[in-house]
Structure 1
């Protein structure tokens, strides 16, 4: 059985390594899960964020790497059980000169421009917090947004706090700022996505994820990429439901 999996360039979750092979926490999770259900050939296909869900809907690939689950997205694709829960954060210039610690702090400063990758859930979160559309700039790729931040064209880039730490570690002039947890302490979850009529593959993946998530091997693999117990434990409980 051959299964194709689309991914984008967003360390530590998924990216193309120096050997031109896909690597990252979610790449490992996809590979170990698919091979456990009998896939002898797992093909990782690089694409852009805006093509991820379109491509799986059109059948250009069988599934995508995990991305945030939303009601809007769930109307067009089928999601697996959650595989991580991650809070948001900003990447800002070193020293955080405009004191940007949450979306609301962007909303209250008329001189702040926020950068996002096109199609990400952070846009809705920012606008719900009062950030006007005219002060949001979108980019096709994460690397484009980071370049704009380094050049001073935007004041902050919003993405997952975990991924932002990777960006800051690679750029001395930048730093990551994690947002405070929500009032109920929960964080948005991410899951693999599938074409809605591909129930056979979805069900097989879900069965294996329920066995594997939270195992010693799973935790060890995720820890290599900076994904902590906290970011795993809540979804282990959900997967078992």
Structure 2
């Protein structure tokens, strides 16, 4: 009886150890076996967005190219609000986030970021004529009457606070179209987001009631410029390593620069220098 009990305990222990050690490997193998990956994204053009039922954008195109190198050709997508992406990733709703999400030390505690794929600055949209003369985050901080609409979970929330903007001045909205609508309706005096996203949203609005601030001064805060990357569950280290290896090859042969240019980015301004790494950004060195 004792021998039988000992054998049972040993068998369960081996099975538990095997399960713990194989979960990461099985994720990559599962994707390759099925030939399909599920991507989580937020509608934020030109990083990731849906158009006529098709998932598009610079971050999406890069992810598709990387996964194709890994033998995963089919892509499914799930749309969430930006602030829900990491929690959705950790809940297993999808395999990877490709939303041009900026790598930040606090985010690195909850998600495993791939190596940076793009770099970008910030932008500001105000009411036509810029009646409050807003050209920087400091201008917003210096006028407590100003309300600025910002997408929930976006890095701009921290940038504004770091620049001295009172949290009570920040109107939280679910997405970029809502932030544009807030300014257009007068609920907010300004909105801020990454430069290309905001400029595209401004142009898409097609209204003379708004103005894109060409003289906007980039904030002197940690995290600017921002470095966007795909993000994975912290447990998926093998998948992350495989993604990074394939990404490095696509950077080296010019594919990443080409995909950025095809989506309106500049290869000169938005390609990430080789010395910028996710490890350095997560550690707060950059």
Give the alignment's TM-score, normalised by structure 1: 0.91
Residues 202-231 of structure 1: per-residue CA shift (max 9 Å, x gap) = 111101111112643322221122211244
Q: Does 1:37 align with 2:80?
A: no
Q: Does 1:188 align with 2:221?
A: no
1:239 and 1:74 map into 2 onto residues whose CA distance is: 13
Q: Does 1:6 align with 2:44?
A: no
2:137 paired residue number: 103
Local SS of the residue matching 2:43: coil
Is the contact made by 2:151 and 2:179 (CA closer than 8 Å) also made in structure 1?
yes
How far did 1:182 drift?
A: 4.3
Q: Which has the higher helix share?
A: 2
Is the contact made by 2:126 and 2:189 (CA closer than 8 Å) also made in structure 1?
yes
Number of corresponding residues: 240
- The change in CA–CA distance for 1:233 and 1:25 in structure 2 (over 3 A counts) is closer
2:211 paired residue number: 175
- The change in CA–CA distance for 1:185 and 1:201 in structure 2 (over 3 A counts) is closer
5 Å-filtered alignment, 1:50-61, equals 50-61=83-94
Structure 2: gaps of 5 or more residues: 1-31, 280-286
Give the alignment's TM-score, normalised by structure 2: 0.78
Is the contact made by 2:151 and 2:173 (CA closer than 8 Å) also made in structure 1?
yes
Q: Does 1:222 align with 2:260?
A: yes
1:131 paired residue number: 165
How far did 1:110 drift?
A: 2.0
Local SS of the residue matching 2:272: helix
Q: CA RMSD in A?
A: 2.2
1:193 and 1:120 map into 2 onto residues whose CA distance is: 15
Local SS of the residue matching 2:263: coil
Structure of higher CA gyration radius: 2
